[in-house]
Homo-oligomer: A and B are copies of this chain.
Amino acid sequence: MKAQTAQRTAIPQNAAHPSFHRHEPAPRLSRAAAVVPLRSEEEGYQQRFGQHVHLFREGDDATRIYELVDGAVMLYKLLPDGRRQVVELIGAGDVFGISAIPVYECSAETLVPGQAIVHDRAVVERSPELFRRLSAHLQAQFCAMHEHAVLLGRKSALERVASFVMQCVPGRGGYGCPGPRGGDNSINVRLGMTRQEIADYLGLTIETVSRAFSELRRRGIVMIGKQEQVLVKDICRMCKLTGAH
């Protein structure tokens, strides 16, 4: 039973909805729950994980800092009534587990299998070299979060979904996008997220996300495949729908 998320416009009635996010979400079967420390070095150790594994939860002691090597992780926060917001998507190279208070301020759940380097928070504080490397990457994530604030605050549902799909297209739509010349104008992307997760990331409901994908299909911009696959038939047209160009 996948958790469902409350919407901002429906706080009263749905707060008691059975399929709501609770503080302790219903455990989701992980296809590879085994979490195996691989090697130990002064810099931390590497950890493998499967799909839908919680690396930490909001409120846990914030003793570790993670550096994602491979895979994808979502960071989310819950409101007391069960509404969920995915506050950041973590990709390879990104850093997470940072907190200004002694406990984590969000939860981290893997989206797909992968691996991360796990650093001790205290060690990071003491190692200038390591601290620098992690901080440098945080700057890029900072910009991504600014961009996401624009999406959440000012974009329509279709623009949000289009923006999300474009995020999954490497090297296009951002700073220094080469445009359609030369390269392909179509690509097959794996979203790696369920509709519900996408909805919680984009500040929408699952139904609205679904309708947006259907609309993109109707317009001939994408073909929806199975297993979270999407064939973007016209990257440029998709890009224009993001509202950013």
Q: Are A80 and B245 in contact (CB under 8 A)?
A: yes
Contact among B79, B141, B155 for A243, CB-based, below 8 A: B79
CA distance A159 to B81 in the complex (A): 13
Number of copies of this protein chain within its complex = 2
Q: Mark A65-106, 1 if CB is under 8 A from B, else 0.
A: 000000000010101110111011000000000111100011
Q: Which residues of B contact A149 (CB under 8 A)?
A: 77, 85, 87-88, 145, 148-149, 152
Number of residues from A at the complex interface, CB < 8 A: 50
Q: Are A243 and B147 in contact (CB under 8 A)?
A: no
Q: Are A142 and B98 in contact (CB under 8 A)?
A: yes
Q: Are A202 and B153 in contact (CB under 8 A)?
A: yes
CA distance A229 to B88 in the complex (A): 34
Q: Are A77 and B142 in contact (CB under 8 A)?
A: no
A16 within 8 A of B: no
**Which one of A143, A152, A153 has the greatest number of beta carbons of chain B within 10 Å?**
A153
Q: Are A146 and B245 in contact (CB under 8 A)?
A: no
Chain B's closest residue to A157 (CB) is B8
A40 within 8 A of B: no
Q: Are A80 and B154 in contact (CB under 8 A)?
A: no
Q: Are B105 and A143 in contact (CB under 8 A)?
A: yes
CA distance A87 to B143 in the complex (A): 10
Taking Cβ atoms with an 8 Å cutoff, the residues of A that contact B are: 6-9, 11, 75, 77, 79-81, 83-85, 87-88, 98-101, 105-106, 128, 131-132, 135, 138-143, 145-150, 152-156, 159, 175, 200, 202-203, 243-245
